[in-house]
Amino acid sequence: MTLPEIFDRTIKPYILILSSIFVASFLAGTLAPDSVRNEVTKAFQLIADSYRGIAGGTLFFYILFNNVMASILILVSGVLIGIVPILAMGSNGFILGVFYRHTAEVTGYSKAGLRVLPHGIFEIPALLIAASYGLWLGVMVIRRVQGKEGFPLRYHIGYASRQYLAVVFPLLIVAAAIETALTVF
């Protein structure tokens, strides 16, 4: 599968919109007040603590399962007029921005960049693609209600599902492997 097939014209405008939301919310996360950053960091620590003590193989499947379930939920919930994919990208950008700022204050900006980079290479693009198909599905629902779309919704859901399996799922496997390796080592 080539890059143009991955970022087909179907979701190109949605990728651009959601990327803008993600970047803006990432910046907002880095600029958030100390009180907000502290609360988000505490919540993140609770989640990170649940990963401690889990063996490598189990940790891989745990991370993969969580990422797959979250991305499928984002994709499928797009039929609710695309609200969930927008909120998911905004909240993920904000949380990653807070995490980056917190890590940068502790270890420096370059080490913080290295900690965020694995998410930015595989996990965030996978989430962005799933959310883009979710937002696209939301637009298709609106167009269907308005009588501007002739194809049945199941056709669009099937197309988005095939794209998910071909593009998003493999990215999530690689992301889980990298995250597991970083956590274990």
**pTM reported for the whole predicted model:** 0.88
The domain ranges of the chain are 9-184
Mean pLDDT estimate for the chain: 88
Residue 102 token pair:
């917190």
Say if residue 6's pLDDT is above 70.
Answer: no
Rounded CA-CA distance 57/59 in Å is 5
Distances (CA, A) of 100 to 32, 71, 171: 12, 22, 22
Q: Using an 8 Å Cβ cutoff, are 56 and 122 in contact?
A: no
**pLDDT, tens only, 67-109:** 999 999 999 998 888 899 999 999 999 999 998 998 899 899 8
What was the pLDDT predicted at 181?
Answer: 84
Q: State whether residue 150 is helix, strand or coil.
A: coil
Place of tokens 């889990």: 54
Helices 34-51 and 56-76, packing angle to 10 deg: 130
H helical segments located in the chain: 3-6, 12-31, 34-51, 56-76, 83-107, 109-118, 124-145, 153-163, 169-184
